């Protein structure tokens, strides 16, 4: 079997490149990718033709994957051929102030790994040291590949620190928003989900949302959403998982006095917003950004997936061969799919 890799070459432009199977260096691993899963970030990167931190075109594409070790480099210890693993899409330096404080996601030398949409992937030495995780036998590869987005969600929830007695609102029932919903519900936290798409809201209810609200895209919804809070004073916490300015503003506008706001969805580069400083100041709102994940989040995500407490099958809409990647992204753009499992090997 030869190599086949999807390269992002520009906005909504993917090129498939073949060649011989790559060989790992002495401190690297060669992985046979068994499952690569699409996500909302992939869609944004595909539409925009890159990512300000993670990817500059032309580049191999995709970052959520699990697979099997084909060949460890001669200097690699602790890993062997045939082991099933999930690979993180980033690796920190491990020595800066941020890493020392447990904020590896903010590491100034954070390195990203792209190329999940490939038959084979060489895992660099830093990732072998800090970003490869062994899978339990009962966990499927597609489910394991959800470790990365789930780790991001766990990071956001860790910052918010919601309590079971609280009620929150979540804007956006995309892949990340639905993962937020599932985790919050599993922890006994009530969350109302707002989204323009009724089929996505139905999924949110299936995953445990205590309520849903169909909203109009591109129109401020904060006052209407606040009416669904206890006493109509706003929610204990609010999360934006849309990555659009209106979603950020609505998240701030939906919080009660003393509430917490997580601006999780990343807006396009150069986006500027005007916030009501009176509310932020006099109502003591805590407004926070949330970005990426730390190794502790990744380990926690893998453990949660292994426990079977999340209904991940509701998030995996279909399976497609690697050559149909653009069709899969088209399904996501049209919201016909939540996440699509890409199977790079024809015999899968």
Average pLDDT of the residues in 292-300: 98
pLDDT for 230 beyond 80: no
Question: Which among 289, 306, 334 is the end of a domain?
Answer: 289
pLDDT for 327 beyond 90: yes
Residue 111 falls within a domain, yes or no?
yes
Let me know whether 120 and 174 are in one domain: no
What is the residue-wise DSSP string for 217-264?
A: TTS--HHHHHTTSGGGS-EEEEEE-S-SHHHHHHHHHTEEEEEEEEE-
Let me know whether 165 and 211 are in one domain: yes
Q: Which comes out higher in pLDDT, residue 218 or 266? A: 266
pLDDT value of position 218: 74
Let me know whether 12 and 140 are in one domain: yes
**CA-to-CA distance for 68 and 327, rounded, in angstroms?**
26
Residue 306 falls within a domain, yes or no?
no
Let me know whether 203 and 251 are in one domain: yes
Residue 300 falls within a domain, yes or no?
no
**CA-to-CA distance for 213 and 229, rounded, in angstroms?**
12
Let me know whether 138 and 172 are in one domain: no
Question: Which among 289, 306, 330 is the end of a domain?
Answer: 289
Let me know whether 141 and 158 are in one domain: no
Q: Which residue segment(s) compose the domain that 192 sits in?
A: 150-289
Question: What is the per-residue pLDDT across 106-116, written as a single tens digit (0 to 9) for each?
Answer: 999 999 999 99
Residue 348 falls within a domain, yes or no?
no
pLDDT value of position 209: 98
CATH classification of the domain holding 186: 3.40.50.720
Residue 73 falls within a domain, yes or no?
yes
Question: Which among 252, 271, 289 is the end of a domain?
Answer: 289
Let me know whether 102 and 213 are in one domain: no
Let me know whether 137 and 159 are in one domain: no
Residues 6 or more apart in contact with residue 62 via CB below 8 angstroms: 6, 36, 38, 42, 114, 115, 116, 117, 118, 342
Let me know whether 182 and 55 are in one domain: no
Within its chain, how far is the Cα of 28 from the centroid? 25
Let me know whether 335 and 226 are in one domain: no
pLDDT value of position 346: 86
Residue 302 falls within a domain, yes or no?
no
Let me know whether 7 and 142 are in one domain: yes
How confident is residue 231, by pLDDT bands cut at 50, 70 and 90?
Answer: confident
- Mean pLDDT (the chain, rounded): 95
Average pLDDT of the residues in 155-159: 97
CATH classification of the domain holding 104: 3.90.180.10
Residue 297 falls within a domain, yes or no?
no
Residue 259 falls within a domain, yes or no?
yes
Let me know whether 272 and 334 are in one domain: no
Q: Considering its fold, how many domains does the chain have in total?
A: 2
> Quick check: bond before 133 cis, omega within 30?
no
Average pLDDT of the residues in 27-46: 96
Conformational region of residue 50, where left means phi above 0, alpha means psi within -120 to 50, and beta covers everything else: left
């Amino acid at each position: 079997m030869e190599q086949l890799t999807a390269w992002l070459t520009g906005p909504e432009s993917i090129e498939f490149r073949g060649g011989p199977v790559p060989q790992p260096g002495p401190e690297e691993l060669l992985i046979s990718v068994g499952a690569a899963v699409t996500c909302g970030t992939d869609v944004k990167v595909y539409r925009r033709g890159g990512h300000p931190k993670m990817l500059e075109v032309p580049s191999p594409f995709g970052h959520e994957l699990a697979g099997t070790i084909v060949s460890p480099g001669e200097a690699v210890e602790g890993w062997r051929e045939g082991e099933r693993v999930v690979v993180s899409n980033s690796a920190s330096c491990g020595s800066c102030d941020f890493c020392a404080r447990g904020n590896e996601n903010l590491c100034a030398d954070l390195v990203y790994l792209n190329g999940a949409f490939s038959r084979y992937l060489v895992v660099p030495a830093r990732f072998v040291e800090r970003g490869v995780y062994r899978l339990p036998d009962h966990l499927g590869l597609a489910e394991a590949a959800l470790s990365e987005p789930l780790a991001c969600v766990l990071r956001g929830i860790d910052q918010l620190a919601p309590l079971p007695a609280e009620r929150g609102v979540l804007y956006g029932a995309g892949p990340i928003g639905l993962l937020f919903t599932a985790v919050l519900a599993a922890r006994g936290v009530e969350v109302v989900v707002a989204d323009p798409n009724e089929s996505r809201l139905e999924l949110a209810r299936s995953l445990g949302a205590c309520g849903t609200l169909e909203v109009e895209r591109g129109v401020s919804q904060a006052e209407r959403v606040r009416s669904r809070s206890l006493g109509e004073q706003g929610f204990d916490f609010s999360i934006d998982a849309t990555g659009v300015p209106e979603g950020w503003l609505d998240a701030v506008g939906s919080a009660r006095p003393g509430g917490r706001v997580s601006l999780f969805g990343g807006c396009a580069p150069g986006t500027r917003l005007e916030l009501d400083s009176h509310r932020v100041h006099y109502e003591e709102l805590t407004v926070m950004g949330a970005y990426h994940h730390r190794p502790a989040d990744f380990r926690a995500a893998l453990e949660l997936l292994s426990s079977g407490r999340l209904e991940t099958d509701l998030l995996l809409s279909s399976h497609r061969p690697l050559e149909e990647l653009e069709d899969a992204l088209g399904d996501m753009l049209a919201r016909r799919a939540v996440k699509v499992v890409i199977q790079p090997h024809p015999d899968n």
